[in-house]
């Protein structure tokens, strides 16, 4: 910077000038920093939501996913999926062979036990009679563990009998086999559970009731977690000295050394890919599919539709009421104490917590007015409308007051009545401001949970037709996000659905806002000429 | 030119300056009264802005109201079509006769009154709509819906306001895209479209540049005869150029009212003379 152009008094003036520049610069610096932090925090908040939320739509799906889609939603090519399922079945065969071999070995040992027991039952003394009584209950068709239990009972009875001295050898053999089988039995059950979680029901197993147990892992990322849970047994360790408890992981294979199941671990560790056949999947139908088995399968259409109905319904109630109220307050009401009291009430209403609106909606719309027999979209919309009404009134009032007085004078001067002036001049000119209020409150209505808990929302439900919306409750994104994150029985298994819902809600609100902003820009452009 | 005893040099100069602008016929009679004020007062709360005014505004003539700021001339003008109703504290006294009825008679329908007494405001105030819609606003209010009829009214009004040439190719464009002078002529066209009998103009050129001002003045000259025009202006040359009769107001009182030529060349009142010669105001 050169010398100031005024040489006289230059000292005094240049100091002031520099101070001014410094102030200017520090203010713009502060402004820049503030904007930077705002943008950064927005990115920090939104980026994980977008990335994790997209994983509900874009992920690596397994053959189990494609089978489930095919069976339950009729998506995909049936023949191709079945062909692929056969390939996966072939890859799993060695594993299932291990299981069969192991089961054979176990049943042989069981047969030996049965033979010993029946040998003892054939004796004519009290031992024989006692064992025979016990053996009458033995059912060779019963599950393995109950057979084992019966035989354990036989052994206990026989060992307690006075005649046991004659069968010491048989009893000793029985004891060894029983000990081996029963320690392993618990481990085998855990093994089979972990395996069926990973790959779906095992061959020969009775088909499970729950849909989620009828299929293995549908997503490769979840499959890898289940793979680890299969390979390692988790156990809580509680140290005796009062130190914090911790989870100890032990390789499951340790229990099965030397058994027929030992090779299964290597197969799961190395051949899982060919068993599940992971493939990149773009599941856009996540948006338009209904959910099955409490969001384990399918998408979020019911929730999306519910949110849409609730938001739209709230707008249908709140926008006309809010705008008319604002017109009354600005154009018709004569300034009085009552009017200023009304204004205070509106401002206060804007600050009332949303849960209070929720309870009010329950008490007033459902219990007093009985707009529907149970929770319904209608009651929820009305409650949401009440909540956003103050925002819309306030924004509309400001927009109407900002319309230049000259417009009104012009209209009145041309012979327009008050109502005509409002309709033809004031409202068109204040439309951008009113739209801003609508945009803000629309986002709020779409995302608010508390007002709909008691009035409209259910955790599980089908997408509603528009006619049923008056009388039926609906799932809605904000409520189902909360429910799925906190109250679902498998919170950890469904992280992708939770983030997918959050992402969809954010995207919905952004799209709503964006379209309103574009509309607003068009209207203002038309007004500006 | 009148040369009375009280004439001084300044007055002479001022008079000659005005008399150059006087190109209308000298023999302007009082004419048939269109609006008559009888002891008419306007109050803002307790403040009397217009004090017991008595005047007849001749039919088909241009009447200018001059006076210093705050003298009540705009208040009086706006009370003729009851625009002051917008101000909650405003009230009136006396009578303002139009078509044999008091304008402030409770039986009067304000809406139809304003259709008969149009108004042009200080700042051009077209609606943020197309030029066509601006002009058609009044006729549409009166229930005219036929396209051909509206087209006809719009064209006639724009022609009468001398803005047809500039606007005929852009009737669908937003009126706010026009220049200030064009906007003001559009506002005059809009006021003419409801076919008023009286046109009130509240300093219509104060926000315009000299060229636009002279176009508006030409327009007023053209409209003269067809409409009764009452114009409030700060510009005394303008008053002298466009009006047949001039009223001078000061602090709510009507000081002098008469033919423009008479008032500017030979004012009866001392205050008028001082004002038009620039001694105060």
HEC states along A232-290?
A: EEEEEECCCCCCCCEEEEEEHHHHHCCCCCHHHHHHHHHHHHHHHCCEEEECHHHCCCC
Chain B residues whose CB is inside 8 A of the A414 CB are 114-115, 118, 137-138, 141, 190-191, 194
Distance CA B80, CA B118 (A): 10
B15 φ/ψ angles, rounded to the nearest 5 degrees: -60, -45
Chain A residues whose CB is inside 8 A of the B79 CB are none
**Residue whose tokens read 């007015």:** A369
Instruction: Inspect the interface and report whether the beta carbons of B191 and A413 lie closer than 8 Å.
Output: yes
**Residue whose tokens read 């995207």:** A507
The residue of chain A with its CA nearest to that of B123 is: A406
Instruction: Inspect the interface and report whether the beta carbons of A410 and B173 lie closer than 8 Å.
Output: no
Chain B residues whose CB is inside 8 A of the A423 CB are none
Distance CA B12, CA B48 (A): 36
Say what the pLDDT of residue B25 is.
Answer: 41
ipTM of this predicted structure: 0.82
User: What percentage of chain B has pLDDT greater than the value 70?
Assistant: 88
Q: In which band, very low, low, confident or very high, does the pLDDT at A7 lie, cut at 50, 70 and 90?
A: low
b/e per residue A441-472 (b: at least 16 CB within 10 A)? bbbbbbbbbbbbbbbbbbbebebbeeeebebb
* Residue A275: pLDDT over 90: yes
Instruction: Inspect the interface and report whether the beta carbons of B137 and A526 lie closer than 8 Å.
Output: no
Q: In which band, very low, low, confident or very high, does the pLDDT at A470 lie, cut at 50, 70 and 90?
A: confident
Name the region of B140 (left: φ>0; alpha: ψ -120 to 50; beta: rest): alpha
* Residue A157: pLDDT over 70: yes
Chain B residues whose CB is inside 8 A of the A419 CB are none
Angle at B116 between CA B112 and CA B122, to 5 degrees: 110
Distance CA B234, CA B218 (A): 18
Instruction: Inspect the interface and report whether the beta carbons of B174 and A417 lie closer than 8 Å.
Output: no
**Spatial contact of A285 and A68, defined as CB atoms under 8 Å apart:** no
SS3 of A233, please? Answer: strand
Instruction: Inspect the interface and report whether the beta carbons of A417 and B111 lie closer than 8 Å.
Output: yes
Chain A residues whose CB is inside 8 A of the B192 CB are none
A93 φ/ψ angles, rounded to the nearest 5 degrees: -55, -45
**Spatial contact of B225 and B246, defined as CB atoms under 8 Å apart:** no
Q: How far is CA A113 from the centre of its chain?
A: 51
The more confidently predicted of residues A529 and A351 is: A351
B130 φ/ψ angles, rounded to the nearest 5 degrees: -70, 160
Chain B residues whose CB is inside 8 A of the A526 CB are 128, 174
Helix, strand, coil share of chain A (percent; to 5): 75, 5, 20
Among B252, B259, B274, B257, which residue's Cα sits nearest to residue B73?
B252
Say what the pLDDT of residue B9 is.
Answer: 46
Say what the pLDDT of residue A401 is.
Answer: 93
Q: How far is CA A461 from the centre of its chain?
A: 14
Chain A residues whose CB is inside 8 A of the B174 CB are 526-529
Of A414, A424, A428, the CB nearest to B190: A414
Which token pair is B117? 């007494």
The more confidently predicted of residues B247 and A142 is: B247
Instruction: Inspect the interface and report whether the beta carbons of B137 and A407 lie closer than 8 Å.
Output: no
Own/partner contacts of A512-515, CB < 8 Å, gap of 24 or more, are: A512/A311, A512/A439, A512/A442, A512/A443, A512/A446, A513/A439, A513/A442, A513/A443
Which token pair is B93? 């006294």
Q: In which band, very low, low, confident or very high, does the pLDDT at A239 lie, cut at 50, 70 and 90?
A: confident
The winner for highest mean pLDDT among A78-87, A511-520, B208-217 is A78-87
Instruction: Inspect the interface and report whether the beta carbons of B127 and A526 lie closer than 8 Å.
Output: no
- pLDDT (tens digit per residue) in A41-54: 999 999 999 999 99
Q: Does A431 touch chain B (CB under 8 A)?
A: no
DSSP state letters, A102-166:
HHHHHHHHHHHHHHHHHHHHT-SSHHHHHHHHHHTT--TTS-HHHHHHHHHHHHHHHHHSGGGGG
Q: In which band, very low, low, confident or very high, does the pLDDT at A123 lie, cut at 50, 70 and 90?
A: confident
Torsion of CA A109, A110, A114, A120, to 10 degrees: 50
Distance CA B178, CA B176 (A): 5
Q: In which band, very low, low, confident or very high, does the pLDDT at A5 lie, cut at 50, 70 and 90?
A: low
* Averaged pLDDT for residues B257-263: 90
* Residue A162: pLDDT over 80: no
CA distance A522 to chain B (A): 13
**How many of the other CB atoms lie within 10 Å of CB of B41?**
19
Chain B residues whose CB is inside 8 A of the A433 CB are none
Instruction: Inspect the interface and report whether the beta carbons of A412 and B191 lie closer than 8 Å.
Output: no
The helix (H) or strand (E) run that includes residue B273 is helix B270-276
Chain A residues whose CB is inside 8 A of the B86 CB are 408-409, 412
Instruction: Inspect the interface and report whether the beta carbons of B125 and A404 lie closer than 8 Å.
Output: yes
A215 φ/ψ angles, rounded to the nearest 5 degrees: -130, 155
Angle between helix axes B180-193 and B131-141 (nearest 10 degrees) is: 20
- pLDDT (tens digit per residue) in B109-141: 888 899 899 999 988 999 988 999 999 999 998
Chain A residues whose CB is inside 8 A of the B126 CB are 410
Mean pLDDT is lowest, of A235-244, A306-315, A389-398, B123-132, for A235-244
Instruction: Inspect the interface and report whether the beta carbons of B88 and A425 lie closer than 8 Å.
Output: no
* Averaged pLDDT for residues A22-38: 95
B→A interface, C-beta within 8 Å: 81, 83, 86, 88, 111-112, 114-115, 118-119, 121, 123, 125-129, 137-138, 141-142, 173-177, 187, 190-191, 194
Angle between helix axes A495-528 and A10-54 (nearest 10 degrees) is: 130
C-alpha pair distances (Å), A410 with each of A416, B135, B156, B167, B170 = 9, 12, 20, 20, 22
b/e per residue A146-168 (b: at least 16 CB within 10 A)? ebbebbbbbbebbeebeeeeebe
The two most distant CA atoms of chain B are separated, in Å, by: 65
Of B125, B128, B190, the CB nearest to A529: B128
The residue of chain B with its CA nearest to that of A417 is: B111
Distance CA B198, CA B115 (A): 9
Say what the pLDDT of residue A165 is.
Answer: 75
Determine which of A336, A410, A420, A424 to mutate to test the interface with B (most B C-beta atoms within 10 Å). Answer: A410
Q: In which band, very low, low, confident or very high, does the pLDDT at A11 lie, cut at 50, 70 and 90?
A: low
**How many of the other CB atoms lie within 10 Å of CB of B245?**
25
Instruction: Inspect the interface and report whether the beta carbons of A425 and B83 lie closer than 8 Å.
Output: no
Instruction: Inspect the interface and report whether the beta carbons of A334 and B88 lie closer than 8 Å.
Output: yes
How are strands ordered across the β-sheet holding B47-58? Answer: B47-58, B33-44, B90-98, B101-102
Instruction: Inspect the interface and report whether the beta carbons of A425 and B127 lie closer than 8 Å.
Output: yes
Of A335, A408, A429, the CB nearest to B128: A429
- pLDDT (tens digit per residue) in B30-47: 567 888 999 999 999 889
Q: In which band, very low, low, confident or very high, does the pLDDT at B14 lie, cut at 50, 70 and 90?
A: very low
User: What percentage of chain A has pLDDT greater than the value 90?
Assistant: 54
- What is chain A's mean pLDDT, rounded? 89
Distance CA B196, CA B199 (A): 7
E strand map for A190-239? 232-237
**How many of the other CB atoms lie within 10 Å of CB of B138?**
26
Say what the pLDDT of residue B212 is.
Answer: 85
Of B88, B111, B125, the CB nearest to A410: B125
Q: How far is CA A348 from the centre of its chain?
A: 34
* Predicted structure pTM score: 0.80
User: How many pairs of residues across A and B have Cβ atoms under 8 Å apart?
Assistant: 75
Distance CA A265, CA A259 (A): 12
* Residue B281: pLDDT over 90: no
The residue of chain A with its CA nearest to that of B129 is: A527
Q: Which residues pair with B253 in a beta bridge?
A: B250
Say what the pLDDT of residue B27 is.
Answer: 41
The helix (H) or strand (E) run that includes residue A337 is helix A337-350
* Averaged pLDDT for residues A212-233: 93
* Residue B150: pLDDT over 70: yes
Of B125, B174, B177, the CB nearest to A406: B125
Chain A residues whose CB is inside 8 A of the B142 CB are 415
* Residue A328: pLDDT over 80: yes
User: What percentage of chain B has pLDDT greater than the value 90?
Assistant: 32
Q: Does A336 touch chain B (CB under 8 A)?
A: no
CA distance B277 to chain A (A): 34
* Residue A150: pLDDT over 90: no
Which residues 92-121 of A have a C-beta within 8 angstroms of B?
A: none
* Residue B11: pLDDT over 50: no
Instruction: Inspect the interface and report whether the beta carbons of B115 and A415 lie closer than 8 Å.
Output: yes
- pLDDT (tens digit per residue) in A382-427: 999 999 999 999 999 999 999 988 899 899 988 888 888 999 999 9
SS3 of A402, please? Answer: coil
Q: Does A415 touch chain B (CB under 8 A)?
A: yes
List the alpha helices (DSSP H) in B161-228.
Answer: 164-167, 180-193, 210-223
Of B112, B121, B141, the CB nearest to A410: B121
Say what the pLDDT of residue A3 is.
Answer: 53
Of B114, B123, B177, the CB nearest to A414: B114
**Spatial contact of A454 and A360, defined as CB atoms under 8 Å apart:** no
The more confidently predicted of residues A139 and A100 is: A100
Instruction: Inspect the interface and report whether the beta carbons of B121 and A409 lie closer than 8 Å.
Output: yes
Distance CA A125, CA A164 (A): 11
Distance CA A332, CA A400 (A): 12
* Averaged pLDDT for residues A198-224: 90
Q: In which band, very low, low, confident or very high, does the pLDDT at A124 lie, cut at 50, 70 and 90?
A: confident
Count of all residues that appear for chain B in the document: 281
SS3 of B7, please? Answer: coil
Which token pair is A529? 């000429």
């Amino acid at each position: 910077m050169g010398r100031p152009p005024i040489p006289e008094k230059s000292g005094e003036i240049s100091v002031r000038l520099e101070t001014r520049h410094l102030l200017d610069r520090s203010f713009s610096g502060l402004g820049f920093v503030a904007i930077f932090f705002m943008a950064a925090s927005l990115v920090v908040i939104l980026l994980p939501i977008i990335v994790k939320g997209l994983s509900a739509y874009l992920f690596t799906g397994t053959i189990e996913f494609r089978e489930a889609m095919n069976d339950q939603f009729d998506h995909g090519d049936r023949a191709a999926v079945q062909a692929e399922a056969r390939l996966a079945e072939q890859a799993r065969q060695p594993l299932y062979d291990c299981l069969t071999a192991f089961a054979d070995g176990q049943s042989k040992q069981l047969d030996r036990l049965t033979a010993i027991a029946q040998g003892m039952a054939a004796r004519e003394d009290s031992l024989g009679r006692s064992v025979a009584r016990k053996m009458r209950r033995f059912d060779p068709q019963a599950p393995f563990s109950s057979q084992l239990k019966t035989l354990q009972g036989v052994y206990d009875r026989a060992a307690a009998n006075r005649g046991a001295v004659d069968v010491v050898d048989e009893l000793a053999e029985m004891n060894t086999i029983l000990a081996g089988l029963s320690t392993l039995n618990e481990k085998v059950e855990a093994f089979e559970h972990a395996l069926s979680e990973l790959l779906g029901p095992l061959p020969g197993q009775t088909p499970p009731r729950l849909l989620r147990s009828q299929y293995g892992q549908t997503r490769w990322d979840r499959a890898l977690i289940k793979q680890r849970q299969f390979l390692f047994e988790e156990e809580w360790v509680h140290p005796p000295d009062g130190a914090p408890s911790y989870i100890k992981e032990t390789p499951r294979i340790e229990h099965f050394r030397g058994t027929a199941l030992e090779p299964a671990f290597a197969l799961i560790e190395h051949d899982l890919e060919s068993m599940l056949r992971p493939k990149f999947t773009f599941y856009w139908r996540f948006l338009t599919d209904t959910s099955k088995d409490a969001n384990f399968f399918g998408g979020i259409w019911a929730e999306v539709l519910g949110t849409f109905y609730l938001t739209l319904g709230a707008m249908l109630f709140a926008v006309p009421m809010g705008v008319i109220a604002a017109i009354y307050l600005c154009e018709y009401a004569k300034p009085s104490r009552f009017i200023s009291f009304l204004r205070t009430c509106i401002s206060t209403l804007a600050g009332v917590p949303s849960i209070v609106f929720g309870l009010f909606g329950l008490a007033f719309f459902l219990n007093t007015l009985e707009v529907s027999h149970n929770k319904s979209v209608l009651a929820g919309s009305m409650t949401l409308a009440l909540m956003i009404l103050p925002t819309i009134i306030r924004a509309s009032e400001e927009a109407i007051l900002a319309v230049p007085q000259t417009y009104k004078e012009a209209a009145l001067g041309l012979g327009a009545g008050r109502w005509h002036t409002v309709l033809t001049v004031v409202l068109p000119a204040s439309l951008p401001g009113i739209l801003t209020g609508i945009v803000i409150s629309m986002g709020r209505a779409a995302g608010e949970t508390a007002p709909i808990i008691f009035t409209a929302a259910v955790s599980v439900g089908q997408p509603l037709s528009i006619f049923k919306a008056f009388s039926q409750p609906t799932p809605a994104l904000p409520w189902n996000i909360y429910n799925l994150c906190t109250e679902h029985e498998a919170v950890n298994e469904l992280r992708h659905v939770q983030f997918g819902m959050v992402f969809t809600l954010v995207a919905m609100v952004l799209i709503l806002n964006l379209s309103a902003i574009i509309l607003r820009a068009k209207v203002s452009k038309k007004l500006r000429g | 030119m009148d040369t009375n005893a009280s004439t001084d040099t300044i007055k002479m100069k001022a008079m000659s300056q005005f008399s150059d602008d006087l190109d209308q016929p000298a023999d302007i009679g009082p004419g048939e009264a269109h609006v008559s004020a009888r002891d008419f007062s306007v109050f803002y709360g307790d403040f009397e802005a217009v004090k017991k005014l008595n005047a007849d505004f001749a039919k088909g003539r241009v009447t200018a109201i001059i006076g210093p700021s705050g003298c009540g001339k705009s208040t009086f003008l706006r009370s003729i079509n009851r625009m002051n109703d917008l101000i909650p504290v405003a009230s009136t006294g006396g009578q303002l006769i139009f078509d044999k009825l008091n304008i402030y008679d409770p039986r009067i329908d304000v809406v139809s009154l304003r259709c008969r007494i149009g108004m042009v405001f200080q700042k051009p105030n077209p609606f943020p709509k197309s030029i066509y819609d601006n002009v058609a606003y009044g006729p549409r209010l009166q229930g005219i819906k036929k396209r051909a009829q509206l087209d006809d009214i719009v064209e006639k009004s724009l022609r009468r306001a001398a803005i047809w040439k500039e606007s005929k190719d852009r009737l669908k464009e937003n009126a706010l895209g026009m220049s200030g002078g064009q906007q003001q002529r559009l506002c005059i066209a809009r006021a003419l479209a409801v076919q008023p009998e009286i046109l009130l103009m509240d300093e219509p050129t104060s926000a315009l540049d000299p060229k636009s001002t002279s176009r508006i003045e030409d327009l007023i000259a053209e409209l003269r005869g067809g409409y009764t025009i009452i114009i409030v202006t700060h510009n005394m040359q303008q008053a002298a150029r466009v009006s047949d009769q001039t009223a001078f107001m000061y602090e709510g009182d009507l000081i002098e009212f008469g033919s423009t030529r008479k008032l500017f060349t030979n004012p009866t009142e001392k205050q008028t003379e001082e004002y038009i010669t620039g001694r105060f105001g």
